[in-house]
A and B are shown apart, each in its own frame.
Chain A
Amino acid sequence: MTMTKIVPTLTVQNLQMHFSARDGIVKAVEDVSFSVAPGQIMGLVGESGSGKSMTAYSIMGLIDPPGKIVGGKILLKDQDLRDLSPQAMRRIRGNRIAMIFQDPMMTLNPVLRIDTQMIEAVLAHQKVSKGEAREMARDALVRVGIASPDERLIAYPHQFSGGMRQRVAIAIALLNKPDLIICDEPTTALDVTIQGQILYEMQKLCRESGTALIWITHDLSVIAGLADAVCVMYAGKIVESGTVQDVLGQPQHPYTYGLIASSPSRNLPGQPLRQIAGMTPSLLNLPSGCAFRTRCERATSVCENTPPISTDGARTLRCFHPMQDAIKLVAEANHD
């Protein structure tokens, strides 16, 4: 069987994004590399200050001064987005790459009707008539599971609940059939049952349309159920990446291990949770070498040097002392 080389939808190579604060340079994104294949769902996991949202904004070209992309390549199929002029980038945004934010009101204009906004999004990138654009809008609403789309089209955002607004934002993202959708914590602010609905829809959509998806979150359990691959970020760098089975099943990096081990489902009920000591360091004041060493139980003096990136097939790791011996995390008896 011949293996046809599939061009990944997105390839990010050694991305660096810094911004100059009054007290120094903040290295928000440092040496980030990953790729997403067509139809693949990749999770970008990290806590606040890890650089996951900044990576997304860098890909979208939404970084304003004092922030600046200072290095690396962002390849959409095989075109480097950094080489594009602002006008050319505008043609890509909303068309070939779409973004969904945590707050749907970042996408929706509160004073415009839904159909107006959606038609606008279509006409900005496609040469169709208004009527055709409206049909496309209606179809997109149906695809995201909105019942009675005709009523919803003539309504305003404030008449919708949070979950509904997020669905509309997703529909807008889908309108121009993008190659890649980046979702920045879209369900974090939503109720559990509504989150379940949206995750269900997203899973279905990606399968059907072959759109690549980057899902940014701090919630590992969402990634476990949704994503194919995952990148774990800490203090601006990807510390571990690979398939979800590998990284979440047998985490190698002490940070990933610590995150999973601190989840209540992996601990005996009522007993203290295994915890990661300390706090995320300020990005202005990172420890030398491995940024995690101040909180890591396995750190030694060698960790004051920058850890090497080890690659093993699709898996990468940045650590001097990985959790070697295939430590399987304890799944407690009374948890499923």
Chain B
Amino acid sequence: MMNTVIESAETTKSEFAEETPFKRFTRNFFSSKIATAGFITLCLIVLAAIFASVIAPQNPYDLTQIDIMDSRLAPGGQNIDHTLTYLLGTDEQGRDMLSAILYGVRISIIVGVVSTAIALLIGLTLGLFAAYFGGRVESLIMRAADIQLSFPPILVALILLALMGPGTSKIVIALVAVQWAYYARTARSAALVERKKEYIEAASGLGLSPLRIVFRHLLPNCLPPLIVIAALQVASAISLEATLSFLGLGLSVTEPSLGLLIANGFDYMLSGKYWISVFPGIALLVTVVAINLVADQLRDVLNPRLQTQ
């Protein structure tokens, strides 16, 4: 039978008809209960942060809304008129802790995500170029990254903030400066592996421009390990920013992140007014853990060795 055989769709795995890589990914991701729980928690936190101004009982940074007479009330305490119940207590200024935490989570997440995103962009581009072009370009970029990584992140952040002064944008710059190298290095090693694969050679043989090869072929295939790192790094950035704020070098008092809230309440720990520090601390912990659970599952799902070919 020498006729040409048209292989029909039925002979290929019918259970995977039209399944995009994304659908396959979501199917694998939600197969773990813990990760799903982490994801839901994270979604709730993010939603709370976005709608903070709507759900919070008061805007804690609007001076007209707070009353110094209500300061340092225990959780469940009420104001003089009994019109407001402070579910999580108040701080030394009379601000409602619940509202402060909601606003604080918003700041923390925004700072964490923005700095991670910028660092990812910069690190990814530099890493891809280093891998694709090799030679001097690679040496330059990688040595800069090595130098960056040999300093403790806190130290670098502190020095930069000392030079630049406080402020939200400065914090973001400091966080980016501390993180980019990690992405560059990972992007480069992922790209080095991918670059040797035959589909890159094929693209080259087909006369496609280097820019196209880097962004259309290398980049999407180097992204998985970077997404995992980025997810973990958001948590790490949030923690780092909290530390900086705790040390007083972070954001300004008018827009306190969770770190600053913790710092503020620290003095009151010994006198028994734990809620001013502890509740923001718990909020920070839950956020970081939720992010880590999601990131861990991402890493397992995106691991090429566990993927079926």
- B7–A279 touching, CB < 8 Å: yes
- B15–A23 touching, CB < 8 Å: yes
Interface 0/1 of B1-33, CB less than 8 Å to A: 110010100010111000000000000000000
Interface 0/1 of A275-292, CB less than 8 Å to B: 001110110110000000
In the complex, chain B residues whose CB is within 8 Å of the CB of A279: 7, 11
The chain B residue with its CB closest to the CB of A22 is B31
- B5–A278 touching, CB < 8 Å: yes
- A282–B13 touching, CB < 8 Å: yes
How many whole Å from A271's CB to the nearest CB in chain B? 10
Contact of B2 among A23, A272, A278, A281 (CB under 8 A): A272
- A285–B2 touching, CB < 8 Å: no
The chain A residue with its CB closest to the CB of B5 is A277
The chain B residue with its CB closest to the CB of A23 is B15
A13 to B85, CA, bound (A): 78
Contact of B11 among A272, A278, A284 (CB under 8 A): A278
The chain B residue with its CB closest to the CB of A277 is B5
How many whole Å from B228's CB to the nearest CB in chain A? 23
Interface 0/1 of A290-302, CB less than 8 Å to B: 0000000100000
In the complex, chain A residues whose CB is within 8 Å of the CB of B14: 285
In the complex, chain A residues whose CB is within 8 Å of the CB of B13: 282, 285
Interface 0/1 of B246-265, CB less than 8 Å to A: 00000000000000000000
A272 to B11, CA, bound (A): 24
In the complex, chain A residues whose CB is within 8 Å of the CB of B1: 277, 297
Q: Tell me the A224-282 residues at the B interface (CB within 8 Å).
A: 272, 277-279, 281-282
By DSSP majority rule, is chain A's interface helix, strand, loop, or mixed? loop
In the complex, chain B residues whose CB is within 8 Å of the CB of A297: 1
How many whole Å from A299's CB to the nearest CB in chain B? 12
In the complex, chain B residues whose CB is within 8 Å of the CB of A23: 15
In the complex, chain A residues whose CB is within 8 Å of the CB of B7: 278-279
In the complex, chain B residues whose CB is within 8 Å of the CB of A277: 1, 5
A187 to B7, CA, bound (A): 32
How many whole Å from B290's CB to the nearest CB in chain A? 27
A277 to B7, CA, bound (A): 9
The chain B residue with its CB closest to the CB of A297 is B1
In the complex, chain A residues whose CB is within 8 Å of the CB of B15: 23, 284
A91 to B1, CA, bound (A): 52
A192 to B5, CA, bound (A): 33
In the complex, chain B residues whose CB is within 8 Å of the CB of A284: 15
How many whole Å from A173's CB to the nearest CB in chain B? 28
A281 to B15, CA, bound (A): 13
A94 to B15, CA, bound (A): 41
A319 to B298, CA, bound (A): 49
A60 to B5, CA, bound (A): 40
A279 to B1, CA, bound (A): 15
In the complex, chain A residues whose CB is within 8 Å of the CB of B11: 278-279, 281
How many whole Å from B305's CB to the nearest CB in chain A? 16
A281 to B7, CA, bound (A): 12
A42 to B13, CA, bound (A): 34
The chain B residue with its CB closest to the CB of A279 is B11
In the complex, chain A residues whose CB is within 8 Å of the CB of B2: 272
A282 to B15, CA, bound (A): 11
A284 to B1, CA, bound (A): 28
How many whole Å from B5's CB to the nearest CB in chain A? 5
A278 to B1, CA, bound (A): 12
How many whole Å from B14's CB to the nearest CB in chain A? 7
Interface 0/1 of B78-110, CB less than 8 Å to A: 000000000000000000000000000000000
A285 to B15, CA, bound (A): 10
How many whole Å from B17's CB to the nearest CB in chain A? 13
How many whole Å from A291's CB to the nearest CB in chain B? 13
The chain A residue with its CB closest to the CB of B2 is A272
A23 to B14, CA, bound (A): 12
A297 to B5, CA, bound (A): 13
Interface 0/1 of B165-203, CB less than 8 Å to A: 000000000000000000000000000000000000000
A82 to B13, CA, bound (A): 34
A46 to B80, CA, bound (A): 85
A285 to B11, CA, bound (A): 10
**Known contacts A278-B11, A279-B7, A297-B1; 10 further A-B pairs (Cβ under 8 A):** A23-B15, A277-B1, A277-B5, A278-B5, A278-B7, A279-B11, A281-B11, A282-B13, A284-B15, A285-B14
* Residues of B participating in the A interface, judged by any CB pair closer than 8 Å: 1-2, 5, 7, 11, 13-15
Q: Give 15 CB contacts A-B under 8 Å.
A: A23-B15, A272-B2, A277-B1, A277-B5, A278-B5, A278-B7, A278-B11, A279-B7, A279-B11, A281-B11, A282-B13, A284-B15, A285-B13, A285-B14, A297-B1
> Which 4 pairs, one residue from A and one from B, show the smallest C-beta to C-beta distance?
A277-B5, A279-B11, A297-B1, A282-B13
* Residues of A participating in the B interface, judged by any CB pair closer than 8 Å: 23, 272, 277-279, 281-282, 284-285, 297
